């Protein structure tokens, strides 16, 4: 094992003189009197290594011994990851002792003692490749696959396989042998370096399905593809966190990996407190059972914050290899970029814009590229859909993190301060936001097949009305209420109807928070009817009260159980009200 001694310390950056070969991004441990500190190599120059320590370096001294581990930052992958709360380095936070986080305390990611019900899926003599399924264990409600380790190259033959039964994670599941006669023992657990993507699938086609989120501004107006990428930039107070929580509660995914990266601890506490109480409508089980939290809040060590997004992504990729639909959320990727900036700064690298490292766009796009819909070797499919938030400095979308992310992510959900101030939630900008997936013929076909052949056109038409409404409102503000034709008011209020009924959604209302696709279509049809109709008004001041009534009734429908008597009652009232002014 390569050893070294510390020669310099600035904040959490160390220089270490080493006595042998070391690798870029290799993990090393710094010896303390009462434990050790984990660190990562980030630059090598001759026999001097620069390393970032994942914890506080207080009272660390030059001359202290370091031990190099010969591998990069790894996570342990195996049954027992679901519903855990990890820190950025995959320490199980619930296993840590005491109220305060102790420096140098590392805990096991998985439980060694728990037994899982296992059954084999492969037979002796089968030829297998990395990522192929050898067996299956029950982890909560999912069939957790025991896979051929991702690191194995080429073709392997199953030499022996353990029969069905109850086993712990470190017990032998299979023995594999390759053509050269190398033998590999497989257990339920394998390790994988977080900064490398898991590539052991057959192919990664373009996304062609829509990932339902239950949020109308996503599904109807800017649909997210299964295996797609998107990001949510927004100034503070615009509702980023509420939106991410809404997605994690309602999205139609098998699993949610939530990375709380450099944000408020109380927000994570909210998840800890609420999710176990909430029921996942698809499985009827606690929402926590499909959720894994990677929690590196703003006051936890900065270097581990960078690791946390990679840890989250690797866990998501691992479950994707089991043929599952995983939604990965990261709040917020700006804090990750800031962690990169702090280190780049200490390394005295020449800075890019706003002192961020020059390769920030490349780092961000590499990360987003790890998401995707994949076809596995056995023909099954899995996906990682990734949605990150961005916290632009001063709410200015022209800053480096937003701009870099815009180049990589396919969906853009811009939260707008003005909409948030008006309490129009979710405050996603109806005009600037987009989903590039609406340009994919596969996605349009998918939507039209599901929601009627004219669905995509209907959505485009509704967006167009919102745009015209904004123009009308600008004119009204300049010329005054009575300085414009009544039509302007009509256009404005038609746009308002779309905004209030379809675009706004109450994330705190039990019913409205989750809106199914059929329901979204139903309401879209009603609202299309409203905006395409002609009306008879004598003066402009009749327009607003009429549409306010219409909007109010339609909103009551949003709050009612879909297709219930209450829903029908409001619908009837809506149709009667519309007739009062409608001419065709």
Partner 1 sequence: MDKQAFQKVYTKILKLTKATCTLKATGIGNEELAYVDGRPAQVVKIQGEEVTLQVFQGTEGIATNSEVVFTGRSPTLKVSDQLAGRFFNAYGQPIDGGPEVDGQEVAIGSPTVNPVRRKQPSELITTGIAGIDLNNTLVTGQKIPFFADPDQPYNQVMADVALRTKADKIILGGMGLSNDDYLYFRNLFDNAGALDRIVSFINTTEDPPVERLLIPDMALTAAEYFAVEKNQQVLVLLTDVTLYADALAIVSNKMDQIPSKDSMPGSLYSDLAKIYEKAAQLPSGGSITIVAVTTLSGGDITHAIPDNTGYITEGQLFLRRDTEIGKVIVDPFRSLSRLKQLVIGKRTREDHPQVMNAAVRLFADAAKAKTKRDNGFDLTDYDERTIHFGADYSRSLLAIDVNIQVDEMLDTAWNLFSKYFSKTEVAIKQSLMDKYWKA
Which parts of 159-264 fold into alpha helices (H)? Answer: 216, 240-250
* Among 70, 69, 41, residue whose Cα is nearest residue 54: 41
Distance CA 392, CA 375 (A): 35
Q: Residue 509 phi/psi, 5° resolution?
A: -95, 130
Beta bridge partners of residue 133, listed in sequence order: 147
- Provide the CB-side half-sphere exposure for 430 (13 A, CA): 25
Q: Are strands 325-331 and 255-261 parallel, antiparallel or unpaired?
A: parallel
The total number of residues shown for the chain amounts to: 584
Terminal Cα distance for the chain, rounded: 83
Which residue do the tokens 């395409």 mark? 532
Which residue do the tokens 């190259």 mark? 153
Residue with Cβ nearer partner 1 (482 or 487)? 482
Note whether 114 and 169 are within 8 A (CB). Answer: yes
* Among 517, 511, 515, 503, residue whose Cα is nearest residue 425: 503
- Burial of residue 180, with CB atoms counted within 10 A of its CB: 0-12 exposed, 13-18 middle, 19 or more buried: exposed
Residue with Cβ nearer partner 1 (113 or 508)? 508
Contact region for partner 1 (CB under 8 A) — 91-99, 156-164, 171-179, 192-200? 91-99
Residue with Cβ nearer partner 1 (265 or 362)? 265
Q: Does 102 bind partner 1 (CB under 8 A)?
A: yes
Residues 125-184 that bind partner 1 (CB under 8 A): none
Residue with Cβ nearer partner 1 (213 or 338)? 338
Residues 323-352 that bind partner 1 (CB under 8 A): 335, 338, 341-342, 345, 351
∠ CA 72-41-407, nearest 5°, is: 75
Q: Does 47 bind partner 1 (CB under 8 A)?
A: no
Residues 402-461 that bind partner 1 (CB under 8 A): 421-422
* 427 SS3 class: coil
Q: Does 542 bind partner 1 (CB under 8 A)?
A: no
Helix axes 486-497, 543-559, angle to 10 degrees: 10
Q: Does 93 bind partner 1 (CB under 8 A)?
A: yes
* 9 SS3 class: strand
Q: How far is the CB of 400 from partner 1 (least distance, A)?
A: 10
Q: Give the residue, chosen from 391, 404, 405, 504, that forms a contact with partner 1 under the rule CB under 8 A.
A: 391
Site string for partner 1, 458-497 (x = CB under 8 A): ----------------------xx----------------
Q: How far is the CB of 411 from partner 1 (least distance, A)?
A: 23
Beta bridge partners of residue 388, listed in sequence order: 231, 330
Q: How far is the CB of 39 from partner 1 (least distance, A)?
A: 13
Q: Does 57 bind partner 1 (CB under 8 A)?
A: yes
Residue with Cβ nearer partner 1 (302 or 543)? 302
Q: Does 295 bind partner 1 (CB under 8 A)?
A: yes
Note whether 16 and 49 are within 8 A (CB). Answer: yes
Distance CA 292, CA 84 (A): 5
Contact region for partner 1 (CB under 8 A) — 162-170, 188-196, 213-221, 394-402? 394-402
Note whether 188 and 79 are within 8 A (CB). Answer: yes
Q: Does 395 bind partner 1 (CB under 8 A)?
A: yes
Residue with Cβ nearer partner 1 (220 or 504)? 504
What are the Cα distances from residue 174, in Å, to 78, 137, 298, 321? 15, 14, 42, 18
Residue with Cβ nearer partner 1 (56 or 115)? 56
Note whether 97 and 152 are within 8 A (CB). Answer: no
Q: Give the residue, chosen from 264, 406, 458, 582, that forms a contact with partner 1 under the rule CB under 8 A.
A: 264
Helix axes 441-451, 517-532, angle to 10 degrees: 90
Q: Does 276 bind partner 1 (CB under 8 A)?
A: no
Q: Does 299 bind partner 1 (CB under 8 A)?
A: yes
Q: Give the residue, chosen from 183, 265, 418, 431, that forms a contact with partner 1 under the rule CB under 8 A.
A: 265
Signed CA dihedral, 222, 225, 226, 231: sign only: negative
Q: Does 300 bind partner 1 (CB under 8 A)?
A: yes
Cis status, amide bond into 332, omega within 30 of 0: yes
Q: Give the residue, chosen from 46, 163, 181, 394, that forms a contact with partner 1 under the rule CB under 8 A.
A: 394
Residue with Cβ nearer partner 1 (46 or 63)? 63
Q: Give the residue, chosen from 19, 94, 487, 532, that forms a contact with partner 1 under the rule CB under 8 A.
A: 94
Q: How far is the CB of 233 from partner 1 (least distance, A)?
A: 12
Q: Give the residue, chosen from 183, 355, 358, 369, that forms a contact with partner 1 under the rule CB under 8 A.
A: 355
Residues 61-90 that bind partner 1 (CB under 8 A): 61-63, 85
The DSSP element (H or E) to which 543 belongs, if any, is helix 543-559
Note whether 541 and 511 are within 8 A (CB). Answer: no
Contact region for partner 1 (CB under 8 A) — 191-199, 353-361, 431-439, 449-457? 353-361
Cis status, amide bond into 467, omega within 30 of 0: no
Residue with Cβ nearer partner 1 (82 or 324)? 82
Residue with Cβ nearer partner 1 (175 or 481)? 481
Residue with Cβ nearer partner 1 (11 or 456)? 11
Residues of this chain that interact with partner 1 (CB under 8 A) are: 7-11, 15, 56-63, 85, 93-94, 96, 98-103, 235-237, 262, 264-266, 268-270, 272-273, 295, 297-300, 302, 335, 338, 341-342, 345, 351, 354-356, 391, 393-396, 421-422, 480-481, 508
């Amino acid at each position: 094992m390569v050893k070294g001694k510390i020669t310099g310390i600035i904040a959490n950056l160390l220089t270490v003189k080493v006595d042998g070969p070391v690798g870029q991004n290799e993990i090393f441990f710094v010896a303390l009197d009462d434990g050790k500190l984990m660190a990562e190599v980030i630059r090598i120059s001759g026999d001097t290594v620069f390393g970032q320590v994942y914890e506080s370096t207080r009272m660390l001294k030059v001359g202290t011994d370091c031990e190099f581990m010969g591998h990069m930052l790894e996570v342990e992958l195996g049954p027992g990851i679901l519903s855990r709360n990890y820190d950025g380095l995959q320490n199980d936070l619930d296993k840590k002792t005491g109220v305060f986080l102790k420096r140098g305390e590392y805990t096991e990611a998985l439980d060694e003692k728990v037994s899982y019900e296992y059954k084999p899926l492969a037979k002796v003599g089968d030829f297998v490749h990395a990522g192929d399924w050898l067996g299956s264990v029950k982890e909560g409600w999912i069939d957790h696959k025991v896979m051929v380790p991702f690191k194995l190259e080429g073709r392997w033959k199953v030499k022996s396989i353990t029969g069905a039964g109850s086993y712990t994670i470190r017990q032998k599941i299979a023995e594999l042998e390759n053509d050269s006669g190398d033998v590999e023992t497989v257990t339920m657990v394998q390790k994988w370096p977080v900064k490398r993507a898991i590539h052991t699938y057959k192919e990664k086609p373009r996304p062609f399905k829509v990932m339902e989120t239950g949020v109308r501004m996503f599904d109807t107006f800017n649909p997210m593809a299964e295996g797609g990428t998107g990001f949510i930039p927004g100034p503070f107070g615009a509702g980023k966190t509420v939106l991410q929580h809404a997605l994690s509660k309602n999205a139609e995914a098998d699993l949610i990996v939530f990375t709380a990266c450099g944000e408020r601890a109380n927000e994570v506490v909210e998840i800890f407190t609420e999710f176990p109480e909430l029921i996942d409508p698809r499985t009827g089980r606690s929402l926590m059972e499909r959720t894994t939290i990677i929690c590196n809040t703003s006051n936890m060590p900065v270097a581990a914050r960078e690791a946390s997004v990679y840890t989250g992504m690797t866990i998501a990729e691992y479950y994707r290899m089991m043929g599952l639909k995983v939604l990965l959320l990261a709040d917020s990727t700006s804090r990750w970029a800031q962690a990169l900036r702090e280190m780049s700064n200490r390394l005295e690298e020449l800075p890019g814009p706003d002192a961020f490292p020059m390769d920030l766009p490349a780092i961000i796009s590499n990360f987003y590229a790890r998401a995707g819909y994949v076809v596995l070797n056995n023909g099954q499919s899995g996906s990682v859909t990734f949605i990150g938030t961005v916290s632009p400095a001063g709410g200015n979308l022209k800053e480096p993190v937003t701009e870099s992310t815009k180049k990589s992510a396919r969906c853009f959900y811009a939260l707008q301060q003005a909409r948030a101030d008006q309490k129009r939630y979710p405050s996603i900008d109806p005009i600037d936001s987009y989903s590039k997936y609406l340009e994919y013929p596969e996605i349009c076909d998918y939507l039209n097949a599901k929601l009627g052949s004219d669905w995509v056109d209907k959505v485009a038409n509704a967006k167009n009305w919102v745009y015209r409404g904004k123009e009308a409102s600008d004119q009204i503000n300049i010329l005054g209420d009575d300085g414009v034709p009544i039509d302007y008011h009509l256009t404005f209020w038609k746009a308002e109807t779309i905004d209030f009924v379809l675009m706004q959604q109450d994330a705190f209302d039990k019913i409205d928070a989750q809106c199914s696709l059929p329901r979204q279509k139903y309401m879209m049809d009603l609202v299309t009817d409203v905006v395409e109709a002609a009306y008879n008004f004598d003066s402009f001041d009749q327009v607003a009260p009429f549409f306010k009534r219409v909007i109010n009734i339609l909103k009551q429908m949003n709050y009612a159980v879909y297709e219930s008597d209450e829903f029908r009652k409001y619908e009837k009232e809506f149709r009667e009200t519309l007739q009062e002014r409608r001419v065709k």
